[in-house]
Amino acid sequence: MISLLFLALIQSLTEFLPISSSGHLLLASLSGFSEQGIGVDVALHVGTLLAVILYFWHDILDMLSFKNLRLMLQLIVATLPVIVIGLIIHFCHVPLLRDAIVVGVCSIFFGWLLWRVDSTSSCHRKIDQMEYKDAFLIGLAQVLALIPGTSRSGITMTCARWRGFKREESARFAMLLSIPTIALAGIYMGWQAYQGKIELPAITDLSIAVMAAALFGLGAIAFLMKWLQKASFFIFALYRIVLGIVVIWCFW
């Protein structure tokens, strides 16, 4: 139970806050903590997906009713790069860097980059002013999240800030962009489960994982959106730099 709740907390916070999951999981491994398999991972993805859908239900309803078809198309454009690169990595068996030092360095570098871009970029644009070029560039930036320690939400928010979008608008687009990304990851892992390649845990464990991830995810999104109305990304950038230093120190 405790392990499931811890996994749900890590998944939710690191999916939506720009702080990266890899470093946290590495540090957790020092205490003997280990992931509980793809079945629980699918449940956690479902939970975080539910969280972002519940929080941004109005935007989603507008897209599904074609009141905001432009935003839907922009999210599709932004998702295409990671799909293409992900397929290339999968079918060509391209190895991903999983070294702890890489995670630590990426956490520090992309944390610094988030602070640098956030503190120097203008902040006047809203999502309804987004061009397809902006969406595609944010999608290209999202590909970097395939490198452990980068943070999907962090790099997409950084790119959005670089393109001149307001902090809360950058976070909003990053959250909406997580919907197809999380859904595709969940579908892929679910397909593996359906094919019998993995053993699913008890339905009770799956239910707990979904509900906990959804609740923690809602809290993380609400906190971030409220924070960015009044403050900058500095605290998250600083946290990432400290995290990266700790990871390097622990695993050097």
Place of tokens 């996994």: 7
Report pTM: 0.92
pLDDT at 237: 97
> 135 near 75, Cβ under 8 Å?
yes
Average pLDDT over residues 136-157: 95
Query: Whole-number mean pLDDT of the chain?
Result: 89
Domain ranges of the chain: 2-251
| For residue 49, pLDDT beyond 70 | yes
| For residue 23, pLDDT beyond 90 | no
> 217 near 91, Cβ under 8 Å?
no
DSSP per-residue letters across 88-117: HHHHTTPPP---HHHHHHHHHHHHHHHHHH
Q: Which of 86, 46, 80, 7 is nearest to 187 (CA)?
A: 46
In percent, the amount of the chain with pLDDT more than 90 equals 63
Place of tokens 């600083």: 238
pLDDT at 123: 79
- Which spans in the chain are helix H? 2-16, 22-29, 38-55, 57-64, 69-91, 100-120, 132-143, 152-162, 167-194, 203-228, 234-251
Query: Residue 29 contacts by C-beta under 8 Å, 6 or more apart in sequence?
Result: none
pLDDT per residue over 191-216, tens digit each?
A: 766 676 666 667 787 788 899 999 99
Q: Phi and psi for 125 in degrees, rounded to 5? A: -85, 150
Q: Phi and psi for 66 in degrees, rounded to 5? A: 65, 20
**Cα–Cα–Cα angle for 90, 47, 150, nearest 5°?**
50
Classify the C-alpha dihedral 130-133-137-142 as positive or negative: positive
The token pair at 162 is 């670089």
pLDDT at 122: 79
pLDDT per residue over 51-106, tens digit each?
A: 999 999 999 999 999 999 999 999 999 999 999 998 898 788 777 667 889 999 99
Give me the count of residues in the chain: 252
Q: Which of 209, 201, 212, 208 is nearest to 37 (CA)?
A: 201
